[in-house]
Structures are given as C-alpha cells and as structure tokens.
Structure 1
C-alpha cells in the first residue's frame, strides 16, 4: 500500500481558511447593528474591522511587505489595534464583508507562493509562513465566535481547525516571542511545569518561571499538573472568552497531577496578546 503524504502545515492552514472564510463573511454581512457591543469595549463592527486589519498585516508579512510596529503583549497589541480602528472609519457590515472576502483571496494567493525563508512578523519576530497562516486561522476562529455571539448566531470551531491553529500558530508564537509576551507581568511570581495534552494532537510542557513562559516539547523532568484539552475549548479559555468551569464539567478539559492548584493560578497568569 502506498503511504499517503500528509499536506504541509501551510497547505493545511490555507485549506482551513478557505473552509471557514465564506461562513465568516456571511456572518459579517448578517450583522444587524454594527454599533452593538461584542467584546470588551469593542462593537461588533470593531471586531469585523479588526479582523480585516489582521488579514492585511498577515498577508503583508508573508509577501515581505512592512507590517505595523508593535510590542506583542496584551497592552502593546491593544495600542496597535486601537490606532488601526481609529484610522479606519469603516463599520458597514456589507463593506467589511466584501473587504474580508477580497483580503482572504489575496492572502491565499500570496501564501500559495511564499517567499523563501521566514517572514518578518510583528516585533521583528521571524516566523515560517505556516505560523503566520495559522495565526490568521486563530483570529478567524476566535473573532467568528465573537461576532456570532454578539448577533445570536451559531458558530462552531471544528476540532481539526482548532488543533491546527494551536499547534501551527499559538505554540510557534510562544516559542518565537520573548518569554514575557504571554504572561501578566503584574500577576506576581509563579513557577510551574504544566503538561498540555491536545486531544487529537501532541503534548508539550509549559514552563512558567516568575514572569516568563517557555515550552519544553520533550517534557523532560517532573510536572506539577497535566491538562488534557479539546483544542477549541482550550483556545476559548486561554483567550478569556470562556471560563474553565463549563469545559471541565462537560469533559472538554480534564486536569490532574501532584499540584493541581497550580492550574487555577496559571489561568490568572496567562495573558494572551
């Protein structure tokens, strides 16, 4: 029997984006009131406009064009996003839907013929084009969830898309960015080794050390606790869109280990950009 070669991560990410963008565009077009609330202080129109900005800078990164100057922390990205939203006055759902559709086509075209080597991303970080594409996938999945919630429309995040987003986008970003990027620097000292097991995927150990986060894929040494996670539930919990209680009760997350109390503390320390 001939062994089938699995497509590379960039190809998988392009396929996933082509799968979800039509539904995302339809969702934006369906927004009844762009000024209604969505996430934090953002309106649902702000969310859609922001998503178009992410398509723009991720496309530019793969194409080798300049990207915004940014410090990739929660505070740094809030500043960059606020500036972009202030400069972009478009909030009409139909116009934003058309913009996202056009940008998605441009992204796929650029990603079909990436420049050799790594892409220059935000904060001067160099990423493989696959990680840039998976970052865009994360943004589409999360902000699709935000828009759908704001307008009372269903939005599902398939496990295989979420797994690709986490393994191909989130974890490479944690490894590439400074170790302080994903940690709340005002949360106080915290040290822990947490083994993360992604259902349907692989495992890694998250190493927290007094304001820093690093990954240990080999998982050498003892760990304080383990998490077995459905990738979609993990994304929504880690990015603050959902509390941990319902996923635990529903079996989407499971935790165990010698020092399980460190898991609760970890959730107060993680601060996604």
Structure 2
C-alpha cells in the first residue's frame, strides 16, 4: 500500500528516508551522554528552583491528586533515589509500572510532610549538587536502579532530567508560569533515559495491560534532531527493535518536547498534530491514537 501523509505532509528533513533504525540500548551509553546530562541538569535545576520560589502557595492542584507541594516533594525523592543508585546505595523497593510507582510514590509522600516552597527549593538545589558530585565520580558500566534494573549511569542522569522537565511543566502549568522545554533537553531525556528504560525493563512495564488486549502495531519513530527507533507493540508488550522501517503501520516524526508531553499524558495529541510538532503518515496512522491509550509510562 502506498504511504499516505497524515495530516498534510510526509517525512521531514531531519527524519530522512534511509536513516538507521537503532536499538534503544545504544542511545544512552555513549561516553558523552553523562556529560551532556549533567550540563542539562545544571541549566534546568536552577530554573526549577527559581520557579518553585515564585510559588506563593504549594497547595494548588497540579497533576492527578497531587498538589504543587506534592510534586516538589516528589522531585526531592527522585533526586535522592537517583543519587543513591549512582552511589551504589539501596534504592526504594518498587515495581516499575504505573501502578507500582504510584504506590511507591504515595508511600514516600506520606512519610514526608514538607511542603513549604522555599524549603523544598533549597532541598532540590542541595540534592542536585550532591547528584552532580556523585555523577562526576561515576565510573561503573552499569548501576542497579529500581526493580534491580541495570542501567548505565548516564541513563539515570537522563531519567532525572526527564523528571525535572516534566514536573517543572506540572508546577508551571498549575501556577500559570512559563516553562519552555528546550528541544535538546527533551531529546536527551528520551534517547538517554526513556528508550534505554524500555529496552531494560520487562516488555510489559510500559503498557496498560487492561487496555492492550490484542493490540499489535509497529511504529517508525523519528525524533527531530535525533535518531530513528522501531517501537513494536504486541498484545501487552512493548519492545524496541532493529528492523526494516518500511514494514510498519505508521511513521511518526516528532518534536521531542511535544512527544514527551503527549506520551506522559500532559498534552492531548491534537494541538501538536495541528501545529506540525507531530506528523504521522503510513498505511495505518490511526493506530497511533490507539497506541496512546495503551502506552503507560510509570
């Protein structure tokens, strides 16, 4: 079947035909990924601290049942956890699924009643400095992350970057403040953390098992400014594979920041499609909408 653009146009210049489809595990392990992640965190964390200091009341609703204060407190827990993982210290016991992480996060928030914005801002800044110091000394090929998952240290740093970007967005949206996400930061978070996590975790970890059913699809994901990745959904599993990108249900050219917000459920797909931030084409592009009901990042 001839590929049909949806909506409006086909591949863009930075997702040219013939680019290699690569395994996600290769995305996060380059020696300079840690350096780039640390540099990104040194840009993003001070913005996050300044944002939090500007919030007069952390009791505002933010995301789900969480308030702004809950989001900020959660960030301190993530900073502590990722620092401990790099240092080889024990990390919380948690199953890396949406339900498993919700339970673990709720337990940590229940044990931590600090919600004052200035205190949380100070805590985030101090913990970020500690993380950077530990990251600068990291020489291990892999470290044990949640659920005993072995990850390159750079993937842990990129995970922390993703958490700061997403939850900075949550706080800013809840309080009516700007939170621009730079393309290269979002790209680093996806290629350096999200894709390696999909490769390292069980294939069911990021799929809603109740909704997946018999859903099967193959998507050629083209991150603008980055690499091409073949995402394969197969009746409740998600894997990243090398293979023929022509044998797919749809191609997706994506601005990394827009894709991150759509995948994590912070933004509906309509506006990015209409604005050209996401472009889909191929034999069965409508499967992308079904995919968004199936994918469930923890």
Q: TM-score, normalised by structure 2?
A: 0.88
Distance 1:217 1:12, change over 3 A: farther
Question: Secondary structure in 2 aligned to 1:271?
Answer: coil
Of 119, 123, 136, which aligns to 1:95?
Answer: 119
Of 51, 66, 69, which aligns to 1:45?
Answer: 69
Question: Secondary structure in 2 aligned to 1:8?
Answer: helix
Alpha-carbon RMSD = 1.1
Please list, as runs of the form range in 1=range in 2, the aligned pairs for 1:40-79 lying within 5 A after superposition: 40-79=64-103
Question: Secondary structure in 1 aligned to 2:189?
Answer: helix
2:138 corresponds to 1:114: yes
Corresponding residue number in structure 2 for 1:262: 287
- Post-superposition Cα deviations, 1:5-60, rounded to whole Å, max 9, x if no partner, equal x9700000000000111110011111111111000100000000001100000000
Question: Secondary structure in 2 aligned to 1:112?
Answer: helix
Of 143, 155, 158, which aligns to 2:167?
Answer: 143
- Post-superposition Cα deviations, 1:215-272, rounded to whole Å, max 9, x if no partner, equal 0144466101010000000000000000000000000000001111211110110011
Give the C-alpha shift of residue 116 in structure 1: 2.1
**C-alpha separation between the residues in 1 aligned to 2:163 and 2:101?**
13
**C-alpha separation between the residues in 2 aligned to 1:219 and 1:65?**
41
Give the C-alpha shift of residue 115 in structure 1: 4.1
Distance 1:142 1:209, change over 3 A: same
Of 199, 224, 227, which aligns to 2:249?
Answer: 224
Q: Aligned residues, how many?
A: 268
Indicate if the aligned counterparts of 2:220 and 2:245 stay in contact, CA closer than 8 A. Answer: no
Please list, as runs of the form range in 1=range in 2, the aligned pairs for 1:70-219 lying within 5 A after superposition: 70-187=94-211, 188-219=213-244
Q: Which runs of 4+ in 1 moved over 3 A?
A: 217-221
Indicate if the aligned counterparts of 2:140 and 2:153 stay in contact, CA closer than 8 A. Answer: no
- Post-superposition Cα deviations, 1:184-204, rounded to whole Å, max 9, x if no partner, equal 000022100011000000001
Indicate if the aligned counterparts of 1:204 and 1:218 stay in contact, CA closer than 8 A. Answer: no
Corresponding residue number in structure 2 for 1:3: none
**C-alpha separation between the residues in 2 aligned to 1:147 and 1:219?**
41
Indicate if the aligned counterparts of 1:64 and 1:115 stay in contact, CA closer than 8 A. Answer: no
Indicate if the aligned counterparts of 1:204 and 1:219 stay in contact, CA closer than 8 A. Answer: no
Give the C-alpha shift of residue 117 in structure 1: 2.4
Indicate if the aligned counterparts of 1:225 and 1:257 stay in contact, CA closer than 8 A. Answer: yes
Greater RCO (CA < 8 Å, at least 6 residues apart): 2
Corresponding residue number in structure 1 for 2:18: none
Question: Secondary structure in 2 aligned to 1:13?
Answer: helix
